[in-house]
Structure 1
Amino acid sequence: MTKKKDARVTIALACTICTAIDKSTGMSRYTTRKNRRNTPTRLESKKFCVCCHKHTCHKELKK
């Protein structure tokens, strides 16, 4: 049997620059998995944004 509350969850990372400036041009989103027990805080990482054409900080979206 599988557990109801799995420790690993799928999350979405969104570009902080694109969401702050303009939502009509689109935004860069990545999906990844994290362990809820090891990292209870929101995840941040530097990823390449296709809208900004540079590496920017991507933060975890709200559910």
Structure 2
Amino acid sequence: MTFPGRPGSHAPQRRVVVSSLGVRGRHGHEVLVDASGRLRVEITEDGVVLPGTGDGPWTRALPHAEPLP
């Protein structure tokens, strides 16, 4: 997943790798978690990231997700 930087800052996007927990979340998609276990999300088939139960670094702009090869 990539988290957009602050608008106008030209900073690189923050990247986070997530892995499956093997369960479905409240939106019906697979729950994914980062290495720390704090960030939990569901990702739709279109790459839309839905907040899960974790305390991730949410911004006003939603993060984007793409599968790794």
Give TM-score, length-normalised by structure 2.
Answer: 0.35
Larger radius of gyration: 1
Structure 1 or 2: larger helix share?
Answer: 1
Q: Which has the higher strand share?
A: 1
Question: Higher relative contact order by CA 8 Å / sep ≥ 6: 1 or 2?
Answer: 1
Normalising by structure 1, what TM-score? 0.37
